[in-house]
Structure 1
């Protein structure tokens, strides 16, 4: 093998190693970039994880929007978790309070965390939570049950072609990861 071909092989190997590191870095950066993208665009139904300001735009009484509520349990969490009302109609801008029921059916304390999602995804920008159990961990003792509040409004600037929103919560067991 000639000296020139060995140099070409070394250059190619260095380029391949550089490509591997670049791909790893890109993959590592994708999660925070995706979260920022979803927060800005409202895609993927992600809602804000902090309280919204109270509506100051008024109530649009000429229009009704249906808001549906769905709950899911992550695999392995021994809780009951469900909305106490499955569907309501609201005027955009109108402040509403709904409750979810949760019960720890295990024999030990568990800390739950609810993660919201709104469908259609573009409607997430217009679903404003004033108070939500999803903002905090929900510790429940064995066999303890609780009603958890969600206070919200649908922004009056919701596009006219959206007449139904579905708010879905998935409840996860975060006991192992919770701050002690």
Structure 2
């Protein structure tokens, strides 16, 4: 009898540990967004571009084509897309592009975006002077918005042996549901116990 009770207790511990692991992994997928943002801005990892800084210095003869990609995390009930597929631009020239987002849920939903560029080696030459990344965006049911991105590509790219032969750059945004909004909507609750205790998602700043 004692051995059966001991086995039952061990089984319960295993089940609880498994639920806790799954819950932790789901929660971290939300909480990792601001941590990833800070890490990338500090290190330039994964093609993270430069934000803020000086204005575009003025166009030179060399051109590149900037492509625009959009992704949405499965937890976020939004339609998110680039308003244009690609834009040819001179190095040093100020560029302007737009993304569109629409909330397809019947409740308000809050999302936050991360971004990178590929090839990753171009990240240090790609400057965004204004964008919607890392700032929480709340869309009402059925609401759609256009979000501008202002950018320029440093002419120094053409002098760098590692980047001078690159003629196409892809700017990629991925929208996630914020941790706080996912908790309010019960998205995390179904993953198991303890997820709701992870706290709210901090707001990253540029």
Whether the TM-score (by the shorter chain) exceeds 0.5 is: yes
2:94 maps to 1:92? no
Counterpart Cα distance in 2 of 1:120 and 1:94: 20
Listed as ranges, the gaps of 5+ residues in structure 1 are: 1-30
2:105 alignment partner in structure 1: 106
The structure whose Rg is larger is 1
1:164 alignment partner in structure 2: 168
Counterpart Cα distance in 2 of 1:52 and 1:101: 26
Query: Secondary structure of 2:155's match?
Result: coil
Where in structure 1 do 4 or more consecutive aligned residues deviate above 3 Å?
A: 176-180
2:139 alignment partner in structure 1: 140
Query: Secondary structure of 1:157's match?
Result: helix
Counterpart Cα distance in 1 of 2:112 and 2:39: 18
What is the CA distance between 1:139 and its match in structure 2? Answer: 1.0
**CA displacement 1:63-112 (0-9 Å, x = unmatched):** 11010000000122110000000101000111011110100000111111
Counterpart Cα distance in 1 of 2:164 and 2:45: 18
Listed as ranges, the gaps of 5+ residues in structure 2 are: 1-34, 158-162, 183-199
Query: Secondary structure of 1:133's match?
Result: coil
C-alpha RMSD over aligned residues: 2.4
- Name the TM-score, length of structure 2 as normaliser: 0.64
**CA displacement 1:124-143 (0-9 Å, x = unmatched):** 11110011011421111111
Q: Is the helix fraction higher in 1 or 2?
A: 2
Counterpart Cα distance in 2 of 1:55 and 1:64: 14
What is the CA distance between 1:54 and its match in structure 2? Answer: 0.9
Please say if residues 39 and 47 of structure 1, whose CA atoms lie closer than 8 Å, have aligned partners that are also in contact.
no
